[in-house]
Structure 1
């Protein structure tokens, strides 16, 4: 069943066309990657879905409900979570407090924050941390964590809103190769188990080809290919304008790694 549908999205900044007739769909539990060279329109497309940008024309629907141009806060309330290229956390708080803050905000209980933050939603926060493998670090200051662990906490924060759709902007940026693989494997498992659709942008082709169910390739604001990793890898236009020899070899390494578990 289609969870997210983008239909004919167009966006221009002055005379520069950033997105032209971008159309795609995403199913519940599916991982869809948006890739392309710098300036391809990835961020523009991503932000039109998330509400940071209003398309000039076209439509975005979530489970059949029109969310086109809705502000990010309302989009979140409608079931869309998000992680960022640079992790967004409160460094002065503990790990569990960061997740509690997200749960409190989602419940609309911000007036209770000052007096009751320590008690509000702690069991729920610890359960979310357990889901991402961080429950043992619940009471540590988040500033003490390795960056890969901070990204896991950020995933727990995004899950606090019980999203149907998760937007992940460069989720593995700044991480070591093993951390990247672990985070994407974790995300894919949660997505499939809970039926969450995941739309992500990513420059790491190993992560894309190993973990995406489908891939959307943008060049100069237009879709030049979309399909399974195998279909995109075999597309001659994609190889010519984006993957090239280096990217193709990276894709093959990712495929071999996935095949061997």
Structure 2
């Protein structure tokens, strides 16, 4: 049984087909990259899996349970976490308070927001921050952090929901080269240790080929290739889609 199964998803906007019969699976502990040129349909597919868009046809299953029509909130409660292209954090709060708020939400303790919440789940929050290398910044305001550090905090926030599956939309966008490699190394380690499935979109081919277990390639709403980084690098149809008649797709070996 796959962790996530996507079965023949279809989505059109007027006469524009954004996804056509898209099917694939994500396994536990796997990092699966979803790539394609601009306008290929990546965001549409990603948002149908996350619950932001309903498909016209098809199904999304988490551990064989249909979640096709579930809201993003329901998917979160069933074990789907998400990070965004533009990092999401409360800049008026400290690093630790951001993660504590996520833990309060995960445990459905909304009443704690109206009381003194500063000590709720602080120890658990510090543990999560330690896992992403941000424990020393726990009491700093998110507003003063470097962007790469905010991305790490966002990852801790996502992990607070104890996800089985983590959706990462352009996780390294806006980050310096070294920050990108460090974040994806960390994500890969967490996925392997926790057996979390990771589905991510990314434009940086070094990130994709350096960290993905498998790669899916979308073009005009259809999957044109799926395989290991080595298989995708040598795929003639993929090279054509990305680089015309270039001899090979670039990316880390």
Give the TM interval when normalised to the shorter protein: over 0.9
* Corresponding residue for residue 209 of structure 1: 209
3-state SS of 2:250 partner: helix
- The alpha carbon displacement at 1:127 in A equals 0.2
Change (3 A) 1:246 1:139: farther
- The alpha carbon displacement at 1:113 in A equals 1.2
Q: 1:233-244 alignment to 2 at 5 Å?
A: 233-243=233-243
* Corresponding residue for residue 33 of structure 1: 33
- The alpha carbon displacement at 1:2 in A equals 1.1
* Corresponding residue for residue 231 of structure 2: 231
* Corresponding residue for residue 258 of structure 1: none
- The alpha carbon displacement at 1:70 in A equals 1.0
* Partners of 1:34 and 1:215 within 8 A in 2: yes
Aligned length: 253
Between the aligned partners of 1:233 and 1:49, the Cα distance in structure 2 is: 26
* Corresponding residue for residue 9 of structure 2: 9
Between the aligned partners of 1:65 and 1:178, the Cα distance in structure 2 is: 39
Between the aligned partners of 2:42 and 2:13, the Cα distance in structure 1 is: 14
- The alpha carbon displacement at 1:216 in A equals 0.4
* Corresponding residue for residue 178 of structure 2: 178
Between the aligned partners of 1:96 and 1:136, the Cα distance in structure 2 is: 10
* Partners of 1:9 and 1:21 within 8 A in 2: yes
Between the aligned partners of 1:84 and 1:26, the Cα distance in structure 2 is: 19
Q: 1:12-161 alignment to 2 at 5 Å?
A: 12-161=12-161
Q: Deviations over 1:184-216 (max 9, x none)?
A: 000000001000000000000000000000000
What runs of 5+ residues in structure 2 fail to find an aligned partner?
none
Q: What TM-score do you get using the length of structure 2 for normalisation?
A: 0.97
Cα RMSD after superposing both structures: 1.3
3-state SS of 1:104 partner: helix
Q: Deviations over 1:133-161 (max 9, x none)?
A: 00011000111111001100000000000
Between the aligned partners of 2:104 and 2:246, the Cα distance in structure 1 is: 46
Structure 1 segments (4+ residues) deviating >3 Å: 243-250
- The alpha carbon displacement at 1:244 in A equals 5.2
* Partners of 2:9 and 2:23 within 8 A in 1: yes
Q: What TM-score do you get using the length of structure 1 for normalisation?
A: 0.95
- The alpha carbon displacement at 1:249 in A equals 5.9
Between the aligned partners of 1:149 and 1:82, the Cα distance in structure 2 is: 17
* Partners of 1:60 and 1:66 within 8 A in 2: yes
- The alpha carbon displacement at 1:245 in A equals 7.5
In terms of fraction of residues, the more helix-rich structure is 1
3-state SS of 1:23 partner: strand
- The alpha carbon displacement at 1:13 in A equals 0.6
